[in-house]
Amino acid sequence: MHLYLHIPFCRQACHYCDFHFSTNTSNKRAVVEAIVSEIILRKDYLPKADIETIYFGGGTPSMLDGEELHLLLDTINQHFTVATNAEITLEANPDDLHRDKLQQLYNAGINRLSIGIQSFHEPHLKFLNRVHSALEGEHCVKIAQEIGINNISIDLIYAIPAPDHSILMQDIQKTFALNISHISAYCLTIEPQTAFGSWLKKKKIKPIDEEYAAQQFEILVKTLAENGYEQYEISNFARNGHYSLHNSSYWKQKPYLGVGPSAHSYNGVSREYNVSNNARYVEAIQKQIIPATLETLTPADQTNEYLLTGLRTKWGVNKEKLELLSGNSFYSVHRADLEKLSEKNWIREDAANWYLTDSGKLFADRISSDLFIEE
Ligand code: SF4
């Protein structure tokens, strides 16, 4: 099974971010203790099985101090069996990752870091309102590797407005120089409930130029492929099979338990969404109540989610599974659409699966939604 912990605190709000987090850390300890209680309350959510992956996401989990991290890991170990080779990832920001902290994480058993680098270009970091400097981004990767954490992923953001593609190329080259085995590359998007969203409304910034974004994506895909990175999911690239096992489990529809404010859980038939409010989360958990909304997934929901996530991966979507999930309605509804998409060279098939082609990857969400089934 797979376990996700949401640590909902950040030092400052990045201008593009609409994840759930708070910059008020006054109740950090109370939230951590509530997550500890939730782990215990939810220990039977999924059938008993060894934990294969643990993922500390956020927010900024590198803001946990050593004691808080141990408290969480000790609770997990007391109530679950963690596989000896489990992947244990912690999302971290460079400004937290000084040598002592990295040593502490390594000693605690964190064996994979997902570092929020976003760019190695100082003005771009300022534009995004990141706390860290370009130099801190570079240094923390080197120190982590010296200490022995070699399974490192970095986040990069592309389509940041710039006169040409040279800064993106510099970011990619820096990634190669640092010998980083996994890259998650996300297109800058402007979400309504963010600083960028409000500036866009007031016309202080321009919308993201779609053509420029598509060009940057093509540069990324091409340059990374030429340098040995496999695009195993549209936004995720790995060298030498260093896939994120945790994220792959989501894309493969594996059940998982998510704890903490705003975390989601999935057991194969329903999803649960924890409240996205730290104070309300703590209050409910203190009363032994899980503050979650339950959504039972219909055959259409299950089919559509499978299409949305599965088509983005190198594993594609399985033909038999589509029929099974949709109650044998998928092909009767979409035979003609599949033919059209094949003719456009946006999808391809083999005996078992459907996959996006390279040109189809540019229109992934549109293709999935064209293949959605209705209730
Ligand atoms: S991008 Fe990461 S560090 Fe920035 S506000 Fe969002 S969760 Fe926090």
Model confidence pLDDT, tens digit, residues 272-309: 999 999 999 999 999 999 999 999 999 999 999 999 99
Considering only CA atoms, which of 314, 316, 296, 294 is closest in space to residue 371? 316
pLDDT of residue 375: 80
Residue 186 CA to ligand 1 centre (angstroms): 13
- Does position 108 have pLDDT exceeding 90, yes or no? yes
pLDDT tens, residue by residue, 310-344: 999 999 999 999 999 999 889 999 999 999 999 99
Ligand 1 pocket list (CB less than 6 A): 10, 13-14, 17, 19, 21, 58-60, 93, 116
The residues of the chain that CATH labels 3.20.20.70 are 2-251
For residue 91, the ligand 1 atom closest to its alpha carbon is 2
CATH fold of the domain at 2-251: TIM Barrel (3.20.20)
CATH fold of the domain at 300-370: Arc Repressor Mutant, subunit A (1.10.10)
Average pLDDT over residues 145-170: 97
Residue 290 CA to ligand 1 centre (angstroms): 25
171: confidence class by pLDDT, cuts 50, 70, 90: very high
The residues of the chain that CATH labels 1.10.10.920 are 300-370
Q: Which of 7, 9, 12, 17 has most ligand 1 atoms within 8 Å of its beta carbon, as the pocket-test mutant? A: 17
pLDDT tens, residue by residue, 9-54: 999 999 999 999 999 999 999 999 999 999 999 999 998 889 999 9
Count of Cβ atoms closer than 10 Å to residue 191 Cβ: 13
Alpha helix stretches (DSSP H) within the chain: 28-41, 66-79, 99-108, 122-128, 134-147, 166-177, 195-201, 210-226, 245-251, 278-286, 299-310, 319-325, 330-343, 364-370
Q: Are 118 and 131 in contact (CB under 8 A)?
A: no
Q: Work out the mean pLDDT of the chain and round it to a whole number.
A: 96
Residue 35 CA to ligand 1 centre (angstroms): 20
